[in-house]
Homo-oligomer: A and B are copies of this chain.
Amino acid sequence: MSPHSTRKPDFSAYPRPSVAVDVALLTVHEGQLRVLLLPREEPDLGGAWALPGGFVRLDEDPDDAARRVLAAKAGLEGVFLEQLYTFGSPERDPRGHVISITYYALVDHRRFARLSPAVRHVVATLEVPWEGEAGGPVIARDPEGRVLSLAFDHAAILGMVVKRLRGKLDYAALGFQLLPRRFTLRELQTVHEVVLGRELNKDSFRRRMLASGLIEPTGELERDVLHRPAELYRISRQSAV
């Protein structure tokens, strides 16, 4: 169990769990949190849906493995990606002991996984059955509103993602990651409201955001709206994550 003093211990001599990464790719669109799910065809898993994932290769950094999965299964590069938690219960995968290092990725809905229709996948909406940061599993629905069965502990993982987002939203530059490079304060507020699951005070939200120094005005205005156009903002230089 404990490393010892032979010069090059052959770690592979010990039976060991496998290590995977799973990535929750999220976006906000039409007032809803959305996540990419892929089908699992294995008979043991009963046709359930799962987060994109894959095994961590020997001598591969788990962060790189997560980026590789995102590129291979969602066609995305250069998106915001952060480690969430590591799940390792021996019972979480019926096929064997797989420890999953989980990540969440945030992206503007316009860049969200543009997968060929030939690749089976679903952009599920998330329903959060708890308030604030209480925590717990969430429910995924397909675009027609049908509840989707999630493989492994992925409902719990997604619940923890939402909990983490709610906790970090206020003090970290997270909300911007779900928007295009230029956005209005109203769009940013809507993103915050969707993630937090509650309405926010407009005046106070504006003041907090402007005072935070995380964003700066561009001087440009939005176009083609049926009302007074709002100014476009961007992430300010020093707050680049």
Contact = CB atoms under 8 A, between A and B. Distances in A.
Main secondary structure of the interface of A (DSSP, over half): loop
Contacts of A97: 58-59
A134 to B, nearest CB: 13
A56 B101 contact: no
A136 interface: no
A239 interface: no
A95 B4 CA distance: 11
- How many copies of this kind of chain does the complex include? 2
In the complex, the 9 A-B pairs of residues with the closest C-beta atoms, listed nearest first: A62-B88, A59-B90, A15-B58, A86-B86, A11-B18, A1-B54, A86-B101, A61-B89, A5-B42
17 contacts: A2-B55, A3-B55, A5-B42, A7-B43, A9-B96, A12-B15, A14-B18, A15-B57, A16-B16, A16-B19, A16-B56, A16-B57, A17-B58, A59-B90, A61-B88, A62-B88, A88-B101
Interface of A: 1-5, 7-9, 11-12, 14-19, 40-44, 53-63, 83, 85-86, 88-90, 95-99, 101
